[in-house]
Amino acid sequence: MSEHGLLVSAPGKVILHGEHAVVHGKAALAVALGLRTFLRLRPGGGERLRIHLPGVGVRREWDVAELSALRGRLTADFDESKSPGVEQLDVLKEFAGIAADASAPDSLAILAFLYMCLAISAKYGDVPSVDIAVWSELPTGAGLGSSAAYAVCLAAALLHACRAISCPLKDGEATARWPEEEMSLINSWAFQGERVIHGNPSGVDNAVGTWGGALRYQSGKITSLKRVPTLRILLTNTKVPRSTKVLVAGVKEKILKFPAIMNPVLDSIDAISQECQSVLEAMPTNPSPEYYPVLEELFDINQHHLNVIGVGHPSLDRLCRVTASHGLHSKLTGAGGGGCGITLLPPDATPLAVEAAKRDLCACGCAEHCDILG
């Protein structure tokens, strides 16, 4: 690592269809966002490891020797394919002074960092003496994959600090991507970070955070969408906070309680993702209004399904009602329960209608918008 260190970044994501169902082996379609998380890695001083996470109000530092001793207390083997153990996480919580239920954003961020740092360094070398700062353009806990972008940046930086991956920058280059197999390793370790934060993630968010672009994800299989037409989507943040971990656990509980009722809903969400993919791949790259009625209907049906599996919220119902009053169709994106919604903007939607919808959304408290391209 040079004395100037390394700047790593990873994008957030929008899930078009398949959130929650993807945790249960169904397909999801997701696209990377222009909003990113950034990490600066610098050589540390005095055999210390420092982290600064302004987004969640964390500034902590530890002796490298103290972390090495802690690592020795975590008896299990560390591997990117092994789930973080409950006992391991309990030891880390006690060490960092984190409450047993560890649900606050700062606690989860520290826990994921400590786990990834100790696990990666145990596999590839010594606990590194580095300074790490992470900041983001993404809202935290709003359905745009902030946890995955954080975990992808940490995985890349820690693997780099432990010399498990190369420095992709060649002389004179300002930016670069790691080679494919190193990206796969980053993705696998980012998944471990997501496991600490989410409990039981599908892996779709860290896949988009690592690879970017538009992809279909199912049971660990990542496929780039063949052709992605330009889609204009309005992104609205309801500002209602929620936790992906809690929502994912709630859906699992519902499936266990009513398998015969819930499994067909998940199958139907899967079929929506398939149908949407077929439409997207049939659409010309340039905006073409005739495909939009089907895409809009798929949004509506999926939004109903997501309510059925228990991840809706009155703020999202309001978002859908307000946009519907302007002829626009919306659904939640990500884990739901608040967070962000997406609204499809067909090429024939008039700027006036879109502006009026935005104004009404602002009036009802959904104050943040941006247009994205898929």
Ligand X SMILES: C[C@@](O)(CCO)CC(=O)[O-]
Choose which of 17, 19, 27, 121 interacts with ligand X (CB under 6 A): 19
Return the range that interacts with ligand X (CB under 6 A); candidates 4-12, 55-63, 197-205, 349-357: 197-205
CA quadruple 119, 123, 124, 129: dihedral positive or negative? positive
Distances, alpha carbon 277 to alpha carbons 78, 145, 159, 183, 303, in Å: 37, 21, 34, 25, 17
Please provide the DSSP assignment of 263-276 as one string.
HHHHHHHHHHHHHH
CA distance 18 to 146: 18
Q: Which of 121, 136, 146, 205 is catalytic?
A: 205
142 forms part of the interface with ligand ATP (CB under 6 A): yes
11 forms part of the interface with ligand ATP (CB under 6 A): no
Task: Determine the residue type at 326.
Answer: H
Sequence-ordered alpha helix ranges (H) in 7-138: 64-73, 86-96, 105-124
Choose which of 5, 33, 117, 147 interacts with ligand ATP (CB under 6 A): 147
Q: Using CB distances below 5 to 8 A depending on partner kind, what does residue 122 bind out of ligand ATP, Mg ion, ligand X, none?
A: none
Contact pattern for ligand X over residues 20 through 49, marking x by CB under 6 A: x-xx--------------------------
337 forms part of the interface with ligand X (CB under 6 A): no
Choose which of 5, 11, 201, 209 interacts with ligand X (CB under 6 A): 201
Contact pattern for ligand ATP over residues 22 through 61, marking x by CB under 6 A: ---------------x---------------x-xx-----
140 forms part of the interface with ligand ATP (CB under 6 A): yes
Catalytic residue list contains 268: no
Burial 322-344 (b: 16+ CB within 10 A, else e): bbeebebbbbbbbbbbbbbbbbb
Tokens of 102: 């560890």
Radius of gyration of the chain, Cα coordinates, nearest whole angstrom: 21
Q: Which residues bind ligand X (CB under 6 A)?
A: 15, 19-20, 22-23, 145, 198, 201-202, 204-205, 244, 248, 334-335
